[in-house]
Amino acid sequence: MKTKANDLRYLNPSLGLAEVPEKVTALGKGKMVRRKGLGPATSKCPACGTVHSRAVMEEQLYVCPECKHYLSMPSHARIAMLADQGSFIELDHGLVSVDPLEFADLRSYRARLQEARRETGVREAVTTGVCKIGGQRAVLVVFDFAFLGGTMGSVVGEKIAHAFEEATERGIPLVSVAASGGARVQEGMFSLMQMAKVAAAASVHDRHGLAFISVLTDPTFGGVTASFASLGDILVAEPGAQIGFVGPRVIEQTTGIAPPKDSHKAETLLQAGLIDLVIKRADLPSVITYLIAHLAKRKATDSAVEGLPPNVKRQRLPAWQKVGLARHVGRPSARYYIARISSRFLELHGDRWSADDPAIVGGLAQVNGQTVIIIGHDRGGTPEEKEASHDGKAYSEGYRKSLRLMRLASKFRIPVVTLVDCPNAQASYESEHRGIAHALARNLATMANLPTPIVSVIIGEGGSGGALALGVADRVLMLENAIYSVISPEGAAAILYRDAGRAESVSEVLKLTAQDLHSLGIIDTVVPEPEGGAHLDPAATADALRSHVLAALRAFDGVPTNQLLDSRYKKYRHIGQGGKFWREKVRSGLSDVFGLLAYAVSRMEKSNGKKAKALDVSPRIRPEKVRTPSASSTKRAAHD
Per-residue pLDDT averaged across 309-332, rounded? 86
Per-residue pLDDT averaged across 176-191, rounded? 96
For residue 435, the model assigns a pLDDT of 93
In order of 93, 103, 263, 306, the CA distances from 115 in angstroms are: 18, 16, 33, 64
In order of 205, 217, 225, 292, the CA distances from 214 in angstroms are: 13, 10, 10, 11
> Do the beta carbons of residue 185 and residue 111 sit within 8 Å?
no
Query: Do the first three CATH levels of 5-39+74-294 and 319-572 match, i.e. the same topology?
Result: yes
For residue 571, the model assigns a pLDDT of 94
Q: How confident is the model at residue 24 (pLDDT cuts 50, 70, 90)?
A: very low
pLDDT digits 0-9 by tens, 75-95: 999 999 999 999 999 999 989
**Residues of the chain by 3-state class (helix, strand, coil), percent to 5:** 45, 20, 40
Written as one letter, the residue type at 449 is N
For residue 382, the model assigns a pLDDT of 82
Q: What long-range pairs does 577-581 form, CB within 8 A, spacing at least 24?
A: 579/519, 579/520, 579/521, 579/522, 580/518, 580/519, 580/520, 580/521, 581/516, 581/519, 581/520, 581/521
> Do the beta carbons of residue 545 and residue 527 sit within 8 Å?
yes
Helices (H) and strands (E) in the chain, counts: 23, 20
> Do the beta carbons of residue 419 and residue 365 sit within 8 Å?
no
pLDDT digits 0-9 by tens, 603-619: 776 666 655 444 444 44
> Do the beta carbons of residue 144 and residue 182 sit within 8 Å?
no
For residue 315, the model assigns a pLDDT of 73
Rounded mean pLDDT of the chain?
86
Instruction: Give the CATH number of domain 319-572; options: 3.90.226.10, 2.40.10.120, 3.20.20.10, 3.50.50.60.
Output: 3.90.226.10
pLDDT digits 0-9 by tens, 572-606: 998 887 555 455 555 655 566 556 666 666 777 66
Whose CA is closest to 259, among 185, 268, 278, 267? Answer: 268
The beta-strand segments (E) located in 273-336 are 277-278
Whose CA is closest to 152, among 104, 72, 224, 227? Answer: 224
211: helix, strand or coil: coil
pLDDT digits 0-9 by tens, 471-495: 999 999 999 999 999 999 999 999 9
What is the rounded distance in angstroms from the CA atom of residue 233 to the CA atom of residue 35?
33
Any idea where the domains of the chain sit in the sequence?
A: 5-39+74-294, 319-572
Using the predicted structure, report yes or no on whether residue 288 has a pLDDT greater than 60.
yes
| Other CB atoms within 10 A of residue 83 CB | 28
Whose CA is closest to 29, among 291, 237, 285, 288? Answer: 285
pLDDT digits 0-9 by tens, 188-218: 999 999 999 999 999 999 999 999 999 999 9
Q: How confident is the model at residue 631 (pLDDT cuts 50, 70, 90)?
A: very low
* CATH number given to 5-39+74-294: 3.90.226.10
What is the rounded distance in angstroms from the CA atom of residue 220 to the CA atom of residue 245?
8
- Contact residues for 353 (Cβ-Cβ < 8 A; gap 6+): 273, 274, 397, 400
For residue 610, the model assigns a pLDDT of 55
Q: Supply the DSSP symbol for 228.
A: G
- What does DSSP say about strands 360-367 and 370-377: parallel, antiparallel, or unpaired? antiparallel
